[in-house]
Amino acid sequence: MSDEFTPYPKNPLIQHFFANIGRTDTIGSGVRNLYKYTPMYSDGGKPELIEDDVFRINIPLDRIAADEATEQKTLSEREQKIYNMICENLHLSVEQVMAELDILRSTVFRDYAKIKKVTGAAYDKKTSTWTL
C-alpha cells in the first residue's frame, strides 16, 4: 500500500456505529484491495489516490480495457446519423427518426442514451427541443 495515503473516517461517530453493527469493513481495507488487485487487471499498473476537495482515484487500464472505453466514447454510424439529424432539426421526434432509419422505438431510445452520454446533448420534454 502507498505510504503517502492514510485512510481515515470522515465521520468517526457514524463509522464506529456501522462497524459495531457489522455493516462496514475495517477502515482502509478498500485501499488495500485497490493496491492488491489493480496490478492484476492493469498490466502491473498502480492506482493513484488524490485526496483534494474531491477524492479521486486514477486506475490505469490495460490495452483491452482502454480500447473498450474508447469504443464507448464513439458513436456508431447509425448514432452519428441520428446526431446529425438532431443538429439539423432541434425539434426532432422519435417518430421521425423511426421513419427515416426504419428502426424500432426502443432502438431510438437506446441510441439517444448513447448520444447524450457521448456528446452531452440533452432533450427538454417541456419544449420538445434538443440542446447541444
Percent of the chain with pLDDT over 70: 83
Mean pLDDT (the chain) is 80
- The answer on pLDDT for 30 being more than 80 is no
Question: pTM score, two decimals?
Answer: 0.49
Cell digits for 41?
487487471
The confidence score (pLDDT) of residue 22 equals 78
Reduce the DSSP state of residue 74 to 3 states and report it: coil
Q: For 65-78, what is the mean pLDDT?
A: 73
- In three state form, how does the secondary structure of 29-64 look? HHHHHHHHHHHHHCCCCCCEEEECCCEEEECCCCHH
pLDDT at position 13: 86
Q: Which of 106, 130, 115, 57 is nearest to 83 (CA)?
A: 115
The pLDDT of residue 5 is 62
Mean pLDDT of 81-105: 88
